[in-house]
Amino acid sequence: MQNNAQILVTITGKLLQDHAFDHLSDENISKLRESFNKLSQMNSSLKEHAKHQNDLLHFYTDADIYSDTSSQQSVHNWCRIMAMYGKSLEHHADSGILDE
């Protein structure tokens, strides 16, 4: 069974493939990828591990889960991460896509 960090890495990878973060600045994409890669390696200290999780979660509030390349599965995965870490879905609720 995967732990939360492994699930976060898996779903972030899928959202990257779905271009959910393409609208971010090059600097932010670089930061996101750095945290993603470091968390994927799983050989960092617990403090660094938590930092990279928090860094990735920060970008989830800016994810574009409504792009043409996003699937309903992407939306579901994004919601799963937000719920798993106790994050609010309010900022995306107005679109109606969360009701589908």
Pick the closest to residue 15 from 34, 31, 1, 36 (CA basis). Answer: 36
Model confidence at 100, pLDDT cuts 50, 70, 90, reads very low
- Tens of pLDDT, residues 25-57: 999 999 999 999 998 887 767 788 888 899 999
For the chain, the average pLDDT equals: 82
Q: Which residue reads 């990279």 in tokens?
A: 52
Please state the domain extents for the chain: 4-99
Task: Examine the pLDDT at 99 and tell me if it is beyond 70.
Answer: no
Task: Examine the pLDDT at 69 and tell me if it is beyond 80.
Answer: no
